[in-house]
Chain A
Amino acid sequence: MSFSVVEPARQPVAEWQFPKPFGWRAVLIAALAFLLLIVTGHRVEMDRAAILTGQAVAAATGMGGQSQVATGLSSIATKLFPLQIDERMDASRIQNLDLNRLPFLAHIETETTRTQTLNPQTFKLDTVVQRKQVLVQRFGYVFTVLWKLVETIEIALWGTVLAILVGLPLAFLSARNLIANRWINLACRTVVSLFRAVPELISALFLVLAYGFGPIAGVLALAIHSTGFLGKFYAEDIENTDPKAQEALEAIGTNKLKVFRFAILPQVMPQYIAYTLYILDRNVRMATVIGLVGAGGIGQELKGRYDLFNYGHVGTILVAIFILVLGLDQIAVRLRRAYL
């Protein structure tokens, strides 16, 4: 039997070349990348953005000068505030309003409006005093927004649930280490990529045409896109698992489904929880956006109020979304800590 003997070093150790951290090729690539950033940065007006932002900062800190950005932002801010808290409704438009039995937290205010109209007979300006009763519901609009937020979360939740239900089998079939048929792998991967390629806002636009305004379109739009995400992430994790446990179960003749449940799922569970939480978080944020095209939730309310120039209402909605996203982030952090 022959033994492989380590060959003695031909050169003295003092003359060895220690590998360099990077060569001229890396420098060239870095230079090219820098050039690309310069060119594309100019094309997307990043230079102008820097100047405008600088002007705005200068104006805001009192260093003088006029800034179109600063005035724009401040006019938005003044329009959004004060936030709309109460719900005000013309009492005469509400049918069967019993003034003696008003809803909880509601009271009647009398609004007086004076309008000056030109009297056609006397050619004088007359002041017409109009009184109308307004039903004011304290925190009424806050409750409306909260209710819409709940609807938004429900849309996001169901979008995520459907995405898990469709994404998991697709991931199972597209993982090469579980299903050894290349055509099935390829077919499932293609479907998942197609799903991922459809932006929610676009699919929601068409789904609203198909299913009408409301949450159905929202749920389906979110489900399609997040199936694309989860299907890809789930499959990649299955392929990255340690194959040893899988081999042990396959060696005794366990079928693929049980192998997945007992050898693979325990290994990928922490990542699956992390991905799914991220997708849920993302779906809540996206659910607010797709409402803009009429797919239900807080976005639909936002779009309606924006179109009616009710900027106080818009402000309330934006603050509510901000608080929701913040709260959701906290919950996700806690869940991750508990389970990972």
Chain B
Amino acid sequence: MLTLEAVEKRYPDGTVALANVTFKVPKGQLCVILGPSGAGKSTLLRCVNGLAQPSAGLVRIDGVPVDRLSLRNIRSSVGMIHQSFNLVARSSVATNVIAGALPRVAALPALFGIFPKIYKRKACELIGQVGLSELHLKKRVSELSGGQQQRVGIARAFMLDPRIVLADEPVASLDPQTSADILALLAREARMRGTTVLCSLHQIELATAFADRIVAVRAGRLVFDGPPQALTPEAIESIYGSGNITRFPSPLPSGARS
């Protein structure tokens, strides 16, 4: 259970990224965060694992408040998937995935690249589950396509069996088909393990297709919270403003939720 209680984030220059955001995400839910660029989606995600410190309010994970004392323990149980994958391009797929286990392995062997057998097996299992093969293990990440790179990113995020996975626009740099594949993979992996997923997205049709629940922020405030079915054109207008809808054709495809 992830709880945000009146979370507020104010940057030193006075801009308010989040204002009084309160909501709960029950265990195992895939919660998509929508909102225009700069609405505070990334900040919201980063407040969960302490990459950003809320100016006021509290984030709790299974009742434990996220603060300086608990941060170390909490971070290793919160996986993260990034918009630009954030992998080490020159390192192999195997190294990138097993790096997800770094917080829990002894430092000295790790410095020589030696990992416990459980983690090596775990990395292989995950690489298989995200749709890559043994042939990819030794390949450099830079040799992979964007979609394959994000598969590596997903495998890395699940290395330590996290309670929560934060996905910060995981498909923003991928084509529509690959985006759908990647989100389907993320949803499958999370459901299999009962992992809570907090995922920010730009594509409304993908959100309605994969989310259990949609939360929307606009200018740092919560403007929508409900199931995908509740995301009516009026609701979309309240999230993105009327300009978008009248100027561009609706991104909603017919019968989006599969």
Contacts and interface: CB of A to CB of B under 8 A. Distances in A.
Contacts of A254: 99, 102-103
Interface residues of A, number: 21
Interface of B: 49, 51, 71-76, 78-80, 82, 84-91, 95, 99-100, 102-103, 107, 110-111, 153, 156, 160, 240-243
Residue with the greatest number of chain A CB neighbours at <10 A, chosen from B73, B88, B90, B100: B88
A262 B102 contact: yes
Contacts of B156: 248
A261 B51 contact: no
B91 A253 contact: no
A263 interface: yes
Residue with the greatest number of chain B CB neighbours at <10 A, chosen from A248, A257, A258, A267: A248
A255 interface: yes
Given A258-B107, A269-B90, A252 B80 contact: yes
Residue with the greatest number of chain B CB neighbours at <10 A, chosen from A245, A252, A257, A267: A252
A249 B84 contact: no
A248 B87 contact: yes
A264 to B, nearest CB: 9
Given A3-B243, A249-B102, A255 B79 contact: no
Contacts of A263: 88, 99
Interface in A246-281: 247-255, 257-258, 261-263, 266-267, 269
Given A248-B86, A255-B107, A258-B107, 17 more contacts: A3-B241, A244-B86, A245-B86, A245-B87, A245-B88, A251-B49, A251-B78, A252-B76, A252-B80, A252-B100, A252-B103, A253-B74, A253-B75, A257-B111, A262-B88, A266-B95, A269-B90
Nearest to B156: A248
A244 B80 CA distance: 12
Contacts, number: 76
Contacts of B103: 252-255
B204 to A, nearest CB: 16
A263 B156 CA distance: 13
A252 B84 contact: no
A254 B240 CA distance: 37
Contacts of B89: 267
A1 interface: yes
Nearest to B99: A262
Contacts of A248: 80, 82, 86-87, 153, 156
Contacts of B72: 253
A267 B95 CA distance: 13
Nearest to B98: A262
30 contacts: A1-B240, A1-B241, A3-B241, A244-B82, A244-B86, A245-B86, A247-B86, A248-B80, A248-B82, A248-B86, A249-B99, A251-B49, A251-B51, A252-B80, A252-B103, A253-B71, A253-B72, A253-B74, A255-B103, A255-B107, A257-B107, A258-B102, A262-B88, A262-B91, A262-B99, A263-B99, A266-B88, A266-B95, A267-B88, A267-B89
